[in-house]
Amino acid sequence: MSDPTKVRRHAERVRELVASVLRSQVKDPRLGMITITDSRITADLREATVFYTVLGDSVAQASTAAALESAKGLLRSTVGKALGLRHAPTLSFVLDDVSDHVKHIDELLAAAQHADAEVQRIAAGAQYAGDANPYRVEADAADEPPAGLEVR
């Protein structure tokens, strides 16, 4: 087992290396507007998962995934040499659908704001169901203590 800080450092280095190689060395026309968002590496430093986003529709995402799959060998050898490990980690690429999550959260927040505005509108015209102070009781003669008793 490796030290967790060492694993984290290697994961960050893998992210930087993959982004750099994709920008400078990979000339595949299928590679779209890609951003490497994160990378994670196992504790034994044998497998690395690289998360990426692609600007565009599903066709652009599919073509970028194919380009990454074909460039996997170059990326793995570059990462292995740069990290100086005995075994270069195998790379797997995962589409990070952050933008879909952001859109979903924005829709939920907009719906919540609309619902809150509706509640405020209804509450503005609300009135009490009964008396304004239902606990106020007028003192009558029946509530007074008997003549011989003292209340402390």
Class of domain 4-97: alpha beta
The residue type found at 90 is T
Predicted TM-score (pTM) of this structure: 0.66
The residue type found at 39 is S
Is the pLDDT at 136 greater than 80? The verdict is no
Angle between helices 58-70 and 72-83 (to 10 degrees): 60
The residue type found at 83 is L
> Could you read off the pLDDT of 101-124 as tens digits, one per residue?
888 898 888 888 888 888 888 888
Per domain, the residue ranges of the chain are 4-97
79-80-84 Cα angle (round to 5): 115
Is the pLDDT at 143 greater than 70? The verdict is no
- Mean pLDDT, the chain, rounded, equals 85
